[in-house]
Amino acid sequence: MQEQVPFFAFRNFVPGVQQQLEQALVQAAQRGNFILGEEVQLFEQEFAAYLAEGATALGVGNGYDALVISLKALGIGAGSEVLVPSNSYMATVNAVLHVGARPVLVEPDAHSYNITAANAENAIKPSTKAILPVHLYGQACHMNELLQLAQKYNLSVIEDCAQAHGATYNSQKVGTFGDAAAFSFYPTKNLGAMGDGGAVVTHNAMVADYVKQYRNYGQKQKYIGQLVGVNSRLDEIQAAILRIKLQHLEQYNAERQRLAKVYLQELQNIGDLILPVTAQDCSHVYHIFNIRTKYRDALQTHLKEPGISTAIHYPVPVHLQPAYTFLGHKTGDFPVAEEWAQTSLSLPLYPGLTEAEQEQVIQAVQVFYK
């Protein structure tokens, strides 16, 4: 009888971490200071230092809020257009709509799955105010080209780093290229909390100042509303968890890369399978290991029989989601995104996935094509 292979599971990959995390929870409970205290401040400092010298990180409620607040901090709102990849998760597009701006979808590169400067340039209009590259599945976008484009057209750059904690472009970590960057600490992300969490990262003091106020009702001093803000704070318990996990992020990512290498090795030249490609100068931290085949649905069913769970990122592209009909798109508008929605399948890949489990996945895929 074969064991089940979950698509994702929390495993005690670095021995002892689970106890450290439980201890941190108890300590936070005993300390009794739950909002914007020492843990948040220390995590912000440590996360910023991990990313780049001179960066500022500010904890917020989740990755979605980090996007919204970054856009607001840069003055993106009604009348602005924002370039976003046509194949991202809905959160990216929702954030643009949330601030009153118009998301303009751009087809990504056929190999890296990431937005390119060449495609983005074709979509630029006088009302284009920002570009929102998503380091999708964990692979860094080609930031040099995107930054040059942004400079040429005077666009703000907001990086969506929700899937790419620790990924690099030319050895520089994502989240440190643009005017602002949004991170999510949703539990299953490469750096995940035990609940919701997020951060805005920036080198711009004005952006940092805005975020610091906006996340806490616009207060600079207690009870003085400097601007109309919201409540979107990272809480102390999550910050305490994240401080521990941050210490192991490089090790977690290295394990993801090792597991990816095994898949890439063992699944090459099989049937019509298309394996993920890492672009030159970009690193990939494999938040998602996405393969593509025109037999996707049959393969997913075949894997499910012995209990191997997979996922689809994402089954319906943004422009065909029921919620976005008002944007006026139709089938055929973004053929690349549409094809990927029909062919993409994500295999189990996470720190703690055992050799036996991975072997089971590989063999099941091989058998499917025999």
Ligand X SMILES: *Cc1c(COP(=O)(O)O)cnc(C)c1O
Residues interacting with ligand X, by CB under 6 A? 62-64, 88-89, 91-92, 134, 160, 162-163, 184, 186, 196, 198
Residues found in the chain: 370
Closest by CA to 282, choosing from 173, 132, 156, 146, is 173
Where does residue 256 rank: exposed (0-12), middle (13-18), buried (19+ CB within 10 A)? buried
- Nearest residue to ligand X on Cβ basis: 63
Task: At 53, list the tokens.
Answer: 């010298």
CB of 197 to ligand X, least distance (A): 7
Looking at the Cβ atoms of 55 and 141, the one nearer to ligand X is: 141
| One-letter amino acid for residue 336 of the chain | V
Looking at the Cβ atoms of 86 and 92, the one nearer to ligand X is: 92
3-state SS assignment for residue 276: coil
Looking at the Cβ atoms of 137 and 368, the one nearer to ligand X is: 137
Give 304's contacts (C-beta < 8 A, 6+ positions apart): 310
For tokens 């979107």, name the residue.
Answer: 232
What is the Cα–Cα distance from 272 to 342, expressed in whole angstroms?
14
Looking at the Cβ atoms of 234 and 364, the one nearer to ligand X is: 234
Looking at the Cβ atoms of 70 and 88, the one nearer to ligand X is: 88
> Percentage helix, strand, coil, to 5, in the chain?
40, 20, 40
How far is CA 112 from each of CA 142, 163, 277, rounded to the nearest angstrom? 10, 14, 6
Looking at the Cβ atoms of 44 and 160, the one nearer to ligand X is: 160
What is the DSSP secondary structure assignment for residue 178, as one 8-state letter? S
CB of 327 to ligand X, least distance (A): 18
For helices 63-73 and 205-214, what crossing angle results, to 10°?
120
CB of 30 to ligand X, least distance (A): 27
CB of 364 to ligand X, least distance (A): 27
CB of 242 to ligand X, least distance (A): 13
CB of 81 to ligand X, least distance (A): 19
Task: At 98, list the tokens.
Answer: 């949330």
